[in-house]
Chain A
Amino acid sequence: MSTPHPDALLSVRDLRVSFDGTDVVRGVSFDVHARQVLAVVGESGAGKSLTARALLGMLPGNATATGSVRLREDSGAFAELVGAAPKDLAALRGRRLALVPQDALSALSPVHPVGDQLAAAVRSVTRVSRKEARARAVAALDRVGIADAARKARAYPHEYSGGMRQRAVIAMATVNEPDVVVADEPTTALDAELQEQVLRVLAEQREAVGAALLLVTHDMAVVREHADRVLVMYAGRPVEQGPARDVLGRPRAPYTAGLLASLPPDEPDEPGGRRGNGRRLPVIPGTPPTPDGLPPGCAFAPRCPLAEDRCHREEPRPRPAGDGHDVTCHRWDDVPYAASDLFLEQPA
């Protein structure tokens, strides 16, 4: 898949991010379509946040991105973002691409009223009067469900509750009706109820402004509820991507199977808890490799219950496993339906 899909809004090909010559993101390719929710999942250090940051041109100064990130223009032509001038990228951010960061408090200035910050965001990309910018700011706060938005617009972030601050940050990201919203772990710092609220608001905003949503998360329950497609990353590379229903329902990469197996079952247990071995969860043995200590062959092979000789020698390439479903594994066809059994460990 080297040319962008003609309907894609954002098309990423062989994206690599390196620090001091070491690749941390090692070749990521995917397309995002309008109004689609793509979840990027994986564990700490898998490269999912760096992938998201690279799309926005917001990598740390000592990181180098190569490959291609193309954004479709209104004309239908694609603009290349990798290697674009910082000035051009800055002009796209807010207007076409927006970030919902993890930490809502640090994303807002503590010394300006929230409404002023939103109005400034409006005026930074659109030439409108102060009054018009102000009105759009209040409308954006209202849209994310902040009651009495006109009054709340005059309040400072510290006067907002945690959930309201996260909503305000979503309002900030969507006020200019961007085409792609990147949400980097938008709910990890929040409790279950606020998580639900924030995800609902994100979904509503996506509908309201017609944006695509790229949702970086390690929470598979969030993926199950909210994603159309899912991209699973391990050691800087996609191991599997496809429709969320297919990937979660019938994982083809052993890593995805292990990740899903390690979640507590979501059907309610009979009250009284589980005792003995019934309480043990499947676990992926070992730990992920560091970017400068990758094993030969498949990066997951040392932890993989299905690994054979070839896996330790030869790095697998992505191959189709179903309709729009790609897997990067030599043994994808041998991953059983009850894949969680592969990862059951014995009690200590």
Chain B
Amino acid sequence: MSPSAHRSTGDHPLLDVRDLVVRYGAVTAVDHVSFTLDAGETLALNGPSGCGKSSTAMAVLQLRRPASGEVRFEGTELTALTDRELRPLRPRMQPVLQDPYGSLSPRHRVRDAVAEPLRVQGRWDATGPARVAELLDRVGIAPACGDRLPHELSGGQCQRVGIARALASEPRLLVLDEPVSSLDPSVRAGILNLLADLQDQLGLAYLFICHDRAVVRHFADRSIEMREGRITGTA
């Protein structure tokens, strides 16, 4: 494997990141990082705190605009697009965050949290409730939990709801930022199994940020090791 972790298959990869640079003022958080990711594939980003792995993920999602470099998603170069032009593409690349409670509004019931992307994207119609029920079922949340508020759920259940919410947008790419780091081992295993099943069923690509090497080895197809903003190794 070359140091820039490229792998070419078919026409073009789902995600093609080239020479990505992210700066915060004078600090260069991501320094010329390049990688590709195919549909149905898991690429892990790992490294110590502050190595630039989360900044890379935020720049892929264009939630933090990179200083330079390219982020090509489904063949479209995102860094050249305005926020308005990005909007129709955003549903196809969804984040799942570390803190399962923090990523859900404390005042929205589970059902509404999952329905929100459908409403925002103008896809809410008579089939909406059935679609929400199907999404909750897919992530292993009992229908009775739909009326609950996040604080009435366990950490693992919250994370499942976060995943259902991301799936509501029918994404091709999930950016998973330490999705299991705050969970107990047996809960963590259940979430990793769920993510594996969803990938097998839906052909999702995962950009998987994780500092636990055993989890990375078990779960990812390939991994990139980062340090001080640069790629220092691949496996």
Residues of A within 8 A of B (CB): 43-44, 162, 190-194, 218, 220-221, 258-259, 262-266, 268-269, 271-276, 279-284, 287, 345, 347-348
On whether the beta carbons of B42 and A273 are closer than 8 Å, the reply is yes
User: Which candidate, B85-93, B121-129, B193-201, is the interface stretch facing chain A?
Assistant: B193-201
Residues of B contacting A272 with CB < 8 Å? 221-222
On whether the beta carbons of A273 and B219 are closer than 8 Å, the reply is yes
Partner among B200, B211, B217 whose Cβ is within 8 Å of the Cβ of A269? B217
Q: Which residue of B lies closest to A267 (CB)?
A: B217
Residue B107 lies at the interface, judged by CB distance under 8 Å to chain A: no
On whether the beta carbons of A271 and B48 are closer than 8 Å, the reply is no
Residues of B contacting A259 with CB < 8 Å? 185-186
Alpha-carbon gap, A170 to B42, bound state (A): 38
On whether the beta carbons of B217 and A268 are closer than 8 Å, the reply is yes
Q: Which residue of A lies closest to B198 (CB)?
A: A348
Alpha-carbon gap, A265 to B213, bound state (A): 11
Alpha-carbon gap, A269 to B188, bound state (A): 19
On whether the beta carbons of B193 and A345 are closer than 8 Å, the reply is yes
Partner among A44, A268, A279 whose Cβ is within 8 Å of the Cβ of B184? A44
On whether the beta carbons of A218 and B196 are closer than 8 Å, the reply is no
Residues of B within 8 A of A (CB): 42, 48-49, 138, 140, 154-156, 184-190, 192-194, 196-197, 200, 211-215, 217-222, 235
Q: Tell me how far the C-beta of A241 lies from the nearest C-beta in chain B, rounded to whole angstroms.
A: 18
On whether the beta carbons of A264 and B218 are closer than 8 Å, the reply is yes
Residues of B contacting A287 with CB < 8 Å? 154, 156
Q: What are 30 A-B contacts defined by CB distance under 8 Å? A: A43-B184, A190-B49, A191-B211, A192-B211, A192-B212, A194-B49, A218-B185, A259-B186, A262-B185, A263-B189, A264-B212, A264-B214, A264-B217, A266-B214, A269-B217, A271-B222, A271-B235, A272-B221, A273-B219, A273-B221, A275-B200, A276-B200, A280-B193, A281-B189, A283-B186, A283-B189, A283-B190, A287-B154, A345-B193, A347-B197
Instruction: Tell me if B's interface is mostly helix, strand, loop or mixed.
Output: helix
Of listed A162, A192, A265, residue having the most chain B CB within 10 A: A192
On whether the beta carbons of B184 and A274 are closer than 8 Å, the reply is no
Alpha-carbon gap, A194 to B211, bound state (A): 11
Q: Which residue of B lies closest to A192 (CB)?
A: B211
On whether the beta carbons of B193 and A264 are closer than 8 Å, the reply is no
Residues of A contacting B138 with CB < 8 Å? 348
Question: 7 extra interchain contacts, Cβ-Cβ under 8 A, other than A191-B48, A262-B185, A271-B222?
Answer: A44-B184, A192-B211, A258-B186, A268-B217, A273-B218, A273-B220, A283-B190
Q: Tell me how far the C-beta of A207 lies from the nearest C-beta in chain B, rounded to whole angstroms.
A: 26
On whether the beta carbons of B185 and A44 are closer than 8 Å, the reply is no
Alpha-carbon gap, A258 to B48, bound state (A): 29
Residues of B contacting A268 with CB < 8 Å? 217
Alpha-carbon gap, A259 to B222, bound state (A): 27
Residues of B contacting A345 with CB < 8 Å? 193
Q: Which residue of B lies closest to A270 (CB)?
A: B217
Alpha-carbon gap, A265 to B187, bound state (A): 16
Alpha-carbon gap, A289 to B108, bound state (A): 26
On whether the beta carbons of A274 and B218 are closer than 8 Å, the reply is yes
Q: Tell me how far the C-beta of A175 lies from the nearest C-beta in chain B, rounded to whole angstroms.
A: 27
Residues of B contacting A275 with CB < 8 Å? 200
Q: Which residue of B lies closest to A218 (CB)?
A: B184
Q: Tell me how far the C-beta of B98 lies from the nearest C-beta in chain A, rounded to whole angstroms.
A: 12
Residues of A contacting B221 with CB < 8 Å? 272-273
On whether the beta carbons of B211 and A279 are closer than 8 Å, the reply is no
On whether the beta carbons of A262 and B49 are closer than 8 Å, the reply is no
Contact A194-B48, Cβ < 8 Å, known A218-B184, A262-B185: yes
Of listed B185, B188, B213, residue having the most chain A CB within 10 A: B185
Alpha-carbon gap, A44 to B184, bound state (A): 7
Alpha-carbon gap, A271 to B216, bound state (A): 11
Alpha-carbon gap, A271 to B217, bound state (A): 8
Q: Tell me how far the C-beta of A305 lies from the nearest C-beta in chain B, rounded to whole angstroms.
A: 13
Contact A263-B185, Cβ < 8 Å, known A192-B211, A276-B200: yes
Of listed B42, B140, B186, B192, residue having the most chain A CB within 10 A: B186
- 5 shortest interchain CB distances as A-B pairs: A264-B218, A262-B189, A281-B189, A273-B221, A43-B184
On whether the beta carbons of B155 and A264 are closer than 8 Å, the reply is no
On whether the beta carbons of A348 and B194 are closer than 8 Å, the reply is yes
Residues of B contacting A281 with CB < 8 Å? 189, 192-193, 218
Residues of B contacting A283 with CB < 8 Å? 186, 189-190, 193
Alpha-carbon gap, A289 to B191, bound state (A): 20
